[in-house]
Amino acid sequence: MWVILAVVIVNAVIGFTQELRAEQAIRSLAALAAPRARVIRGGREVEVDGAHLVPGDIVLLASGARVPADLRLIEVNRLEIDESALTGESLGASKDVRPLAAERLALGDLKNMAFMGTLVLSGRGKGLVTGTGRATELGKISEQVRRVKPAPTPLQVQLGRFSRWLGYGILAVSGSAVLLGLALGRSVPEMLLTGIALAVGVIPEGLPVVVTITLAIGVKRMAGRNAIVRRLPAVETLGSTSVIASDKTGTLTKNEMTVQVIFVGGVTYQVSGIGFEPKGWITGPNGEPVRLKDHPALRLCLRAGLLANESRLGFEKERGWYPQGDPTEVSLIVAARKAGMDPDQETRAFAVVDQIPFESDLMYMASLCRHPRGEGKFIFVKGAPDRVLEMCTHVVTGPTGEEAPLEDRGAILEQYRALAGDGLRVLAFAYRKESAAVETLWPASVEEGLTLIGLQGMLDPPREEAFQAISQAKQAGVRVIMVTGDHQVTAVAVARRLGMVRGENVPVLTGLELEDMPDEELYHKVRYVNVFARVAPLQKLRIVQQLIKRGEVVAVTGDGVNDSPALKAAHIGVAMGKTGTDAAKETSDMIVTDDNFASIFAAVREGRVVFENIRKVTLFLLSTGLAQIILIPTALVLLMPLPLLPAQILWLNLVSNGLQDVALAFEPGEKGIINQPPRRRTEPVISRLMAERLVIIGAVIAVGTLYTFLWALNQGYSLDHARTVALTTIVLFQLFNVFNVRSEVESVFRMRLLSNPFLFFSVIASVIAQIMIIYVPAFQFVFRTAPLNAQDWVVLALVATTVIAAVEAEKALRRFVRVKRAEALARRR
């Protein structure tokens, strides 16, 4: 009783602490929601706590500040805000103050708004507070997280159902055994003790502990694969996952803008390497790395990207290469470095005299630079292709820098649309020579007479390892879908590169479409749509809820505040450790420390191993119980003495199940486990195969034990001696049987004995324990045992080996049937 009570208390404490830690999500969101704010009150600029803001306050924004409330912008000066934590869009959002004509827009399209919790990348601004606390977009997410109830895991559901039926069954069997014994004239105390001992012996009370241990072992193994599990049930849930709804930015992609294509003078150049590390090269149409001295036009385009630029590429030994400023501008610096250009030398040689910063209404940036030899000056311009094209009268027509009048603007626009159709963000570059006397730039003096140099297309690159992981997921029957706040074209392009979708007409749902779509229609759409773009946080939650409603076991990955509701609602929420916000981490069930989608899939395999080991433990524990259920009533019906006393039943439960069940938790995964389809959410812990094998094992153990008990009585042994024979027979049966349950299909003779050393030594320990209660006088008195002779041991060992023979025959028959079915299927094809 004390042991069982201790187990219950330990399990309750573990579950409570795990859930308590999980609910820190709300506190994390509250901490994120309370920055300091600079406001204008009484005509003076003052700093107040963000919690003290009220609608109508005028807030000042500056580079590096966190937006303290939802604001309607009224003044901006080159204001750019990182909204990725809220919208999932990888690029900084440029802001303006112009009214928006459309009535319903995604958060990422509200250019005249700034949202609480987002970060100002550059520029300045002034905004009117429109919402604070729960009235903000971030507050709405926080409120939704509070209301969302996490879905129970398939293991929790099935173990709960299994426990109820097992409890009812054991109560019925024990009660029937007691009534049967009383009806046959047995004494009331004897049958009450027998019934209680039978119930305790049959109930696998070690199962909750072993499940916890098995899950804990899975946690340790996953930690070695960069996956930190915050809730134990999440370990097994990963193994049964059928859909992974993944964020794009920072999860499937690196969240590092990278120039991939440069179009100059009618020539398309490819840029290798990804991320901010300037490692790679630029290749021409023939695939050979280019030398800049042979491609003056390319050098000019890269130079324009370096000089019409306000950002820097930083490097620290601990951090490596990192952006200082707009990631898009930093990608231009990285591309130039890959071609062998030194940004510092270029900025010294072409010293910047004046600049026109990027403005959303101008759609370009311009720099006035001195000629390194004092031969006048240059104006370098970068901006939106259609806007820059309007400002150009000439174009670079060849790789050596020849120029000609710009006559075919349609060809340039077609090239731009082709690059944009591949999901690239495209910038155009132009220049013009100026006299040495020019010292100041004005928009009116810049917006005509330029020479178009070319285009640079950049993309937040997909992770290389994500492609392989998604391919393996398909083989494992796991569907991967993308749910992102980014634009539709970009989302589809990344999905194609990762092999998530194929073909031209890819079905996509956008946030605007979801807004008007009823849940009934979305329920049918989520069955085949794999890309969701411009999705708001609560829309992502709706997608997850409909997937769960369809019977899918859903894992959601994310890193932003916007992902928190969906992370909590899913069967398992997976947050990114490096780029993830605190809110996402605290809401999640698992954190991937290297932000690698491949680590998630590695954890899926470990999850499948965990569930298989739980099944093996369950089969092993129930086999002894079923044998006792058959043995005791049979002995009663045959009017035989009871083969086991209550104390011996309890000992049997300890010595045959107490160590081996824990050892089975350390079993390595079987071959090919990851290539099997995911388990159905409704699939019971005891599968049909297990149920059939359980009946075989239980029957063999019961019949074999009854045989040795009768054999001992016929030998003239005392009743205590015969009961000792029966007890030892069941112990030996289980010591052999533990090797049977290590695999559902593979022969015990093909498995390495020491692949699980803990199991091997647990068997040795059980044999020693059984020998002690047989031959140590103190234990003989407690358990009413008698010493066995050599003949007894030989007979018992031979009988116990029949359980291996029976299961091996059953496995061989299943393998034979499987091969014949495969051959028949091949002939039909």
Which residue shows structure tokens 């390194």?
372
Contact between residue 358 and residue 364 where contact means Cβ atoms under 8 Å apart: yes
Check residue 249 and report its DSSP letter: I
Q: Kindly state the tokens that stand for 379.
A: 């104006």
Helix axes of 207-223 and 597-637: crossing angle, nearest 10 degrees: 160
C-alpha span between 550 and 572 (Å, rounded): 16
From the list 135, 141, 118, the residue with the least C-alpha distance to 66 is 118
C-alpha span between 377 and 371 (Å, rounded): 5
From the list 297, 300, 268, 296, the residue with the least C-alpha distance to 282 is 268
Q: Kindly state the tokens that stand for 200.
A: 């305790």
- How many other C-beta atoms are found inside a 10 Å radius of the C-beta of residue 345? 11
Strands 267-271 and 227-229: unpaired
Which three-class secondary structure string do you get for 50-119?
HHHCCCCCEEEECCCCECCCEEEEEEEEEEEEECHHHHCCCCCEECCCCCCCCCCCCHHHCCCEECCCCE
Which three-class secondary structure string do you get for 168-217?
HHHHHHHHHHHHHHHHCCCCHHHHHHHHHHHHHHHCCCCHHHHHHHHHHH
Determine whether 792 is an active site residue.
no
Question: Alpha carbon of 115 to those of 18, 70, 814: distances in Å?
Answer: 32, 4, 61
Q: Kindly state the tokens that stand for 212.
A: 């916890």
- How many other C-beta atoms are found inside a 10 Å radius of the C-beta of residue 78? 18
Q: Kindly state the tokens that stand for 18.
A: 């795990």
Q: Work out whether the CA dihedral 207, 213, 216, 220 comes out positive or negative.
A: negative
Strands 243-246 and 479-483: parallel
Question: Alpha carbon of 645 to those of 107, 465, 539, 637, 788: distances in Å?
Answer: 72, 60, 62, 17, 18
Question: Alpha carbon of 650 to those of 163, 235, 590, 625, 777: distances in Å?
Answer: 20, 32, 39, 11, 19
C-alpha span between 168 and 54 (Å, rounded): 60
Q: Catalytic pick from 247, 460, 559, 661?
A: 247
Query: End-to-end distance of the chain based on CA atoms, in angstroms?
Result: 61
Question: Alpha carbon of 146 to those of 22, 480, 588: distances in Å?
Answer: 12, 27, 13
Contact between residue 618 and residue 685 where contact means Cβ atoms under 8 Å apart: yes
Catalytic positions are: 247
